[in-house]
Structure 1
Amino acid sequence: MSTHKIAFPPIVGDRPKTLILGSMPGEASLRRQQYYGHPSNAFWPIMAGLLGIAPNADYAERTAALVAAGIALWDVMAECERRGSLDTAIRPASIRVNDFQAFFDTHTDIDLVAFNGGTAEREYHRRVQPGLSPAAQTIATCRLPSTSPAYAGMSLADKARAWHAILAGRFASSAS
């Protein structure tokens, strides 16, 4: 198993308002070439509830629903060295972050960056935010509970409630 990991390009439409950031895709996601590809990850079940899509929708339908709702999906890290899937196994010196300034320059309607877990939030604030333009630094941020199956300290129902509390009103009109 290679330790060098390369993230996916963003899933993004023309006018996203919300950017959801993970840290780096896990092994199952990298093998499947799909964001949140581990069958026990709670991301897609939570999004199905928020967006009103079928829980068994295929990946193309799921990503199309995100785009239609004004949600962009990406990872903080573009590359890193990691054995396995756990964020705790990432070698900090190996992290190379994505070019968020270019992303925000292109997608000027984004007004919320929501982090899927603590690693994404920490690395964004440590490695990305200080280099952003003053305008991009004012984009609101919030941390959501990790949807990873490794984060077992919270039930799926509690994770879903937390995600719904922050995101439900943001795209109800654009998802219809």
Structure 2
Amino acid sequence: MSKTRAPGDAGRSVGGEWVEKPGARVKKARTEAEPVAVPVSAEPLLEGFPPVVAADTHTMVFGSFPGVASLSATQYYAHPQNQFWRLLGAVLDEPLPSLPYAERLIRLLAHRIGVWDVLAACERTGSLDAAIRNASPNDFAALRRHAPSLRKVCFNGKTAGRFEPVMREAGYKTLVLPSSSPAHAMLSFEQKLVVWRGVND
């Protein structure tokens, strides 16, 4: 699948310290003479997107990993029921949901806000974070080089929020947000928005 570079893309690489425990299936040895059982992956390795970031970006919003709809569209938060663009639109007083995708990214960068995911690659069936296996994190150290003005890192949901201590220890101000995912229906849009306004504080 071809990938489109986002405005201000600084690229990404696989690295870091956190890796999900493997959920791979294992072949059962038929006889004692056969080799030791070898893990066999049940799903293909999925690769995420490059960051939407610029040199003057002061705030990043990290998700976990693109869902099926996003991977298919090659767009961050492409699922029509995901509230990401609606929430940020309300925070920034911008009509983000009604704009073409490329224009949404331009508007975000104009507000010095960037978007990325904590995971660079993983195996997963469906779109739920609970199904993520064999994950590799993105290269967070690269942000300091490519976004020298970065001061705050926000995390869209608890899965992305696992990396909050890492970024806090790196010297960034951090904020864990209620997930914009349609699967997170415990809070209303209005309740989520109260916390999401902290993105632009």
TM-score, with structure 1 as normaliser: 0.84
Unaligned stretches of 5+ residues in structure 2:
1-41
- Structure (1 or 2) with the greater helix fraction: 1
Match of 1:100 among 135, 140, 143: 140
State how far apart, in whole Å, the 1-side matches of 2:92 and 2:124 are.
33
State how far apart, in whole Å, the 1-side matches of 2:142 and 2:187 are.
35
* Residue 23 (str. 1) matches residue 64 (str. 2): yes
Unaligned stretches of 5+ residues in structure 1:
170-176
Aligned pairs for 1:23-172 (under 5 A) are: 23-54=64-95, 55-91=97-133, 94-122=134-162, 124-125=163-164, 129=166, 137-164=170-197, 166-169=198-201
Whose Rg is larger?
A: 2
- CA RMSD, Structure 1 to Structure 2 (Å): 1.9
Are 2:122 and 2:132, in contact at CA under 8 Å, matched by a contact in 1? yes
Q: CA deviation at 1:136?
A: 6.8
Letter of the 1:71 counterpart: I
The count of corresponding residues between Structure 1 and Structure 2 is 159
Are 2:53 and 2:147, in contact at CA under 8 Å, matched by a contact in 1? no
State how far apart, in whole Å, the 2-side matches of 1:45 and 1:168 are.
15
State how far apart, in whole Å, the 1-side matches of 2:132 and 2:119 are.
10
TM-score, with structure 2 as normaliser: 0.74
Letter of the 1:96 counterpart: S
| Paired-residue identity, % | 41
Are 1:51 and 1:65, in contact at CA under 8 Å, matched by a contact in 2? no
Are 1:22 and 1:117, in contact at CA under 8 Å, matched by a contact in 2? yes
State how far apart, in whole Å, the 2-side matches of 1:84 and 1:4 are.
13
